[in-house]
Structure 1
């Protein structure tokens, strides 16, 4: 008896620990199967939001040694201290965010130096060659930042459903800044007032909103597809028409109202609205020709939209077949 109590307690604790969205989908599927007098389809396998290993998504960037610290001419355009800091003990172990900010600052400094008439012809030639290489490599640094920096890997990974209580204001500001930087990288227009990435590093690391959103879109899609098959494959169990026993239809409609309309649909609407709110800043994750991987949240959202539409089409067809007016009693 004591063992049985322990087992039941563990099951109850496990159920309580599940996300509300997962509980709602589980209950929705179970109730539909009960009305149909059939076995419920197995729950879909959880799809975790994981990034490939760093070594599999790293774009190689050739190391470039800038042996210019002996040239005090660099002080004329505020480049001497920047390069010196980069070559310090701490500078050599910078994380991805600090390293990317350095690359941008370096290019901005090179532009200033090349426009300075007091720079010697010899140094001008050296800086021009370095600038050409650095401009070519900057998109590679950007890609590696997105998928190899610890903060962004934390931001884009998830194993949990999105909590409806998210405060998205900080993430929104971070993504807007990143979009501005990405556009500058693409156009090679590195304005002096371009925002620094480093101030956004902590919020991107500690609040993995994008990973949670993609995980939720992917797994909601899997659940909607499974439930659609449950409904469509057993549609013949739902009888309706004059002089027919419509008890199952009544029960099924109540399940639709109580579980989908009142619980699941509002959550799906929040996922959709959040994606649309963030979408203008998500172009940085689009597939690039030279990249090995991209964070395909746009594809996840489209699949989510398709699965939601397919799910609602079943109910529309059922209600049309059985002459049920939405909002009326059966």
Structure 2
């Protein structure tokens, strides 16, 4: 989507409307409303698609008990330390992420154990059975982390705070954290327990918690779509017939041209381009993580649908300016690009 005019201002020049994108959109909205002597658009932002409650998503892990009458077996494999850890007071209240880390370390240790020579076929068979059962339950542990971890739930539920106009802090850290979690997902699918157990899950969650970038992104997409839709509804009441009858210039048109060049180009457009960049990089990672979970549909609505809605509203908005520029003596000099 392009409105071909000629360059007017450097896109890097951002007017002083506050750092966050919603402030830029609100300021732009207010200025246009004053020009048209029109009440500001109103209407509450619709609630996002609801997520299932944590209690409806968590699954119980199979209660596996290793009944090794010969303590030699557990000591030889190093399982006695892990079993003791799980049975400790802290181990009994592990979070979903710590539980997953424990399960991965247990599988890695048990895989090494099974490569040793065993004189007792009975003990070997018992260990092999535990290994098979643990492999079958690891997906439950991973999904429990995805669906019930406090940090991830906060990201998925969102936060009522938009991202900055540009260069939002935490983007690279968020991308790295999500990339590591998707790599963990792949390693589990490959049953590469050694590599999977080396990933520091808590570190990735801490990166997400620190910036809450994903939660802010989804709110920014929703609010941008909403504000642009309000703007478009207001602008639909005005066209070249009322703004420049007979193609005549006016002070109102000059003010509109100034608002377009000073606030739409370096702020609103820049903001939507930044949101698009974040969405195109982060959503595929979220989609990969949650594609086989009960949350994929509401997440698609929260991210994909609002992103597409923002793009559609922006396209309609640019079309209004294009039509006005062709039919009225606005003489806009800029290149407008959609997200």
Instruction: Tell me the TM-score normalized by structure 1.
Output: 0.80
Once the two structures are superposed, residues 38-76 of structure 1 have per-residue CA deviations (whole angstroms, 9 ceiling, x without a partner) of 3332154275797543123x1423431323454431333
Verify the 8 A CA contact 2:170 2:213 in the aligned structure 1: no
Quote the residue 1:268 is aligned against.
272
Once the two structures are superposed, residues 12-50 of structure 1 have per-residue CA deviations (whole angstroms, 9 ceiling, x without a partner) of xxxxxx874333222222222232333332154275797
CA distance in 1, matches of 2:297, 2:74: 39
Structure 1 residue 236: Cα displacement: 6.1
- Equivalent position SS for 1:227: helix
Quote the residue 2:324 is aligned against.
318
Structure 2, unpaired ranges of 5+: 1-17, 335-339
Verify the 8 A CA contact 1:48 1:159 in the aligned structure 2: no
Task: Rate the CA distance shift 1:324–1:243 in 2: closer, same or farther, 3 A.
Answer: closer
Query: Greater CA deviation, 175-184 or 310-319?
Result: 310-319
Verify the 8 A CA contact 2:248 2:329 in the aligned structure 1: no
Task: Rate the CA distance shift 1:322–1:91 in 2: closer, same or farther, 3 A.
Answer: same
Structure 1 residue 105: Cα displacement: 1.6
Quote the residue 1:92 is aligned against.
92
Verify the 8 A CA contact 1:104 1:190 in the aligned structure 2: no
1:160 aligns with 2:161: yes
1:208 pairs, out of 212, 215, 221, with: 212
CA distance in 1, matches of 2:113, 2:295: 32
Task: Rate the CA distance shift 1:133–1:228 in 2: closer, same or farther, 3 A.
Answer: farther
Task: Rate the CA distance shift 1:233–1:242 in 2: closer, same or farther, 3 A.
Answer: closer
CA distance in 1, matches of 2:247, 2:306: 45
1:173 pairs, out of 158, 172, 176, with: 176
CA distance in 2, matches of 1:245, 1:182: 61
2:307 pairs, out of 301, 304, 309, with: 301
1:256 pairs, out of 246, 256, 260, with: 260
Quote the residue 1:190 is aligned against.
192
Quote the residue 1:65 is aligned against.
64
Moved over 6 A (4+): none
Instruction: Tell me the TM-score normalized by structure 2.
Output: 0.78
Verify the 8 A CA contact 2:118 2:124 in the aligned structure 1: no
- Equivalent position SS for 2:28: helix
Verify the 8 A CA contact 1:135 1:188 in the aligned structure 2: no
* 1:275-290 equivalences in 2 (<5 Å): 275-279=279-283, 281-288=285-292
Once the two structures are superposed, residues 207-232 of structure 1 have per-residue CA deviations (whole angstroms, 9 ceiling, x without a partner) of 21111111111111111111112112
- Equivalent position SS for 1:282: helix
Structure 1 residue 182: Cα displacement: 1.4
Quote the residue 1:4 is aligned against.
none
